[in-house]
Amino acid sequence: MCASLIRGIVPYRGLDRHRDDRDERYDDCGGGEMRDDREAPPADVKVVLIAEDEAIVAQAEGTCSTRLDGNTGRGEILEVGRVTQSSSIERAEGNIPPVAGDVTESTSTYRYVIEASILLLQFAMGLSFLAVAPLFPPIVAAFHVDNATVSLLVGVSSLTLAIALVPASVLAARLGSKWSLVLGGVLMGATGLSMLATSFPLLLATRVSFALGAAINLSATPAVILRWFSTRELAVVNGANVIAQSLGVALSMLLAPRLAGPLGWDGALTVFGVAALGATALWLILGRDTGAPSIEAAFTMRDLSTVLRNRTVALLSIGVAGALGGFISLQTWLPTFYSQQWGYSLEEAGAISGLLSFCGILGALLGSALPVRLPRRRPFLIAGGLGIPLFATGAIAMNLPVVLYPSVVLLGVAGWIFMPIVFTIPMEVPGMNASRVGIAVAVVLGSANLAGFFAPLMVGAVRDLTGSFTPGLAIACALSLVLVGCAVAMPETGTLAPRSPP
């Protein structure tokens, strides 16, 4: 059954446009009585639904219940039923996006090929994101820089992401998903040029290029997921992508110190860059858009304005900025903290930090599987916001294995359990379409990476001033509590405005 509340113009039968000045009710659902002696839309009719000045053409399967209000030309779609075919039409403002989660893509087995290709890109992005962190000591020795300066190798990536994510989401909407991800992958592959970096500024330039590619990747991926997968699959798919990122980060923390032995720190980074280029080549071969290039061109500045004014997006952005700012600081500096303050070898410190990232995989698994049973979002945000400072205290307070290792394990879980939800909430906000959801994710991650730039830089600066990592890391831990406050104030999206599955 297709149940839609439409206010304004509802053209049907050949897409003729009609406007009525009366409130009317058409009911052909289950053979109900039809009012005003009008003919209800047949089962296979193409109906144009007007929702916030956007028209959607959908061929619905089954019967429909439609209420018309001719006193206003605007309205909203509460629910759209089974869709067997979707296409875009053009209006004066430009091309109009089709219904997201169209069954044409969401029932195609090729969506698994698409997701496999996306997973490899996410994994490659994770490999390079924090790979420099366990290599700080040899990089400091190679370029004779201080701790605050070397932390820019992580901080500049976060700052570039923060600045580039929203423009990258606009570019992705214009360029198309396939070619946006190709461009992003090539830019991420600049990490492979680390062996050519003969100075610290050149090494920073490779990190800027990586961050630009990651921004495009993160902006283009949500639109691909929203088009190829049904509503019920969103949390699981987003969780799988987060797990791929986490696995990449974990492996880089473990492998970077070991590869640095025979290859040097620059050779280790080059290996990770080549992995990004390989994943990009595979996407170039296997990736595809949904067969409607005009969909990507549907972006307008109205979409950007709508997203920026959305209360849920704003609260999510502030909360995630606090949590990820603190967690990225911990991931960045814990290897150096264990090495310099507690006397661990570079390999031992990298192994403990790798454990942190590997346990993040468990957190991402829980964050993607539990919402299937518990279709609510805020509890996961609150759990992460409380868990990060609690377990980080155990990870930095005392050098006792009985305290250290359980704390690191639980810190990894807390730092990643809410990340699948962070990607899922923008897809559930009422009024979101494929263009807007990419912008919403970009805004959230942009604020998070802005915090991810300043927070590690603050920790490094405090270390240089005080001679201890503890004060800076304690401040980073406290930042995560911001997520708790924002989650409490945020509307619950898990039980609001559900889209009917195909």
Residues 382 and 472 in one domain: yes
Task: Give yes or no: residues 76 and 173 share one domain.
Answer: no
Cα 5 to chain center, whole Å? 30
Q: List, for residues 275-287, the tens digit of each pLDDT value.
A: 999 999 999 999 8
Listing DSSP states for 159-207 in one string gives HHHHHHHHHHHHHHHHH-HHHHHHHHHHHHGGGGGGGG--SHHHHHHHH
Residue 253 within a domain: yes
Residue 497 lies in a domain: no
Query: Does 423 reside within a domain?
Result: yes
pLDDT for 55 equals 35
Paired with 12 in beta bridges are 16
Cβ atoms of 194 and 269 closer than 8 Å: yes
Residues 470, 334 within the same domain: yes
Query: Up-side HSE of residue 80: CA atoms within 13 Å toward CB?
Result: 29
Rounded-to-integer distance, Cα 308 and Cα 135, Å: 38
Residue 498 lies in a domain: no
Q: Which two tokens stand for residue 474?
A: 């304690």
CA distance 182 to 180: 5
Provide the CATH number for the domain around residue 266.
1.20.1250.20
Same domain, 424 and 302: yes
Give me the residue label for tokens 């991926």: 221
> Same domain, yes or no, for 65 and 200?
no
Handedness of CA 254, 260, 262, 267 (dihedral sign): positive
Which segments of 281-435 are extended strands (E)? none
Give pLDDT, residue 96: 36
Tell which residue, 169, 487, 474, 190, has the closest CA to residue 320: 487
Examine the fold and report which residue of 87, 121, 151 is the final residue of a domain before the chain moves on: 87
- Do residue 61 and residue 122 come from a single domain? no
Asked whether residue 502 is assigned to any structural domain, the reply reads: no
Instruction: Specify the pLDDT at position 217.
Output: 92
Residue 495: per-residue pLDDT: 60
Asked if residue 281 is part of any domain, the answer here is: yes
One domain, residues 43 and 140: no
Between CA 65 and CA 73, with CA 71 as vertex, the angle to 5 degrees is: 80
Residue in the block written with tokens 């004779």: 144
98 assigned to some structural domain:
no
Same domain, 333 and 250: yes
Place of tokens 């911001």: 482
Question: What are 88-140's pLDDT values in tens digits?
Answer: 333 333 333 333 444 344 457 888 899 999 999 999 999 988 888 888 888 98
Q: Are residues 17 and 110 in the same domain?
A: no
Same domain flag for 268 and 394: yes
**CA distances, 249 to each of 21, 212, 359, 416, 469 (Å):** 59, 18, 11, 12, 22
Phi, psi of 414 (to 5 degrees): -65, -35
pTM above the 0.75 mark? no
54 within a domain of the structure (yes/no): yes
> Which segments of the chain have a pLDDT < 50?
1-106, 291-297, 496-502
Q: Exposed, middle or buried, 343 (CB in 10 Å: 0-12/13-18/19+)?
A: exposed
Residue 376's pLDDT is: 85
Domain end call among 59, 87, 115: 87
- Statement to judge: residues 232 and 284 lie in one domain: yes
DSSP run (H or E) holding 65: strand 64-69
Task: With CA atoms as reference, report the closest residue to 123 among 366, 336, 364.
Answer: 364
- The verdict on 127 and 73 lying in the same domain is no
CA distance 11 to 322: 47
Q: pLDDT tens digit string along 204-218?
A: 999 999 999 999 998
- Tokens matching residue 349: 């410190």
Rounded Cα distance between 114 and 181, Å, is 12
In the block, tokens 């930095």 appear at 396
Cα first-last separation, the chain: 11
Q: How long, in residues, is the chain?
A: 502
Tell me how many domains the chain contains: 2
Query: 56, 87, 118 — which closes off a domain?
Result: 87
Query: Domain of 203?
Result: 103-489
129/133 Cα distance (integer angstroms): 9
pLDDT score of 300: 66
pLDDT tens by residue, 36-69 = 333 444 443 334 343 333 333 333 333 333 333 3
pLDDT at residue 69, as a whole number: 38
Q: Quote the tokens at residue 282.
A: 């595979």
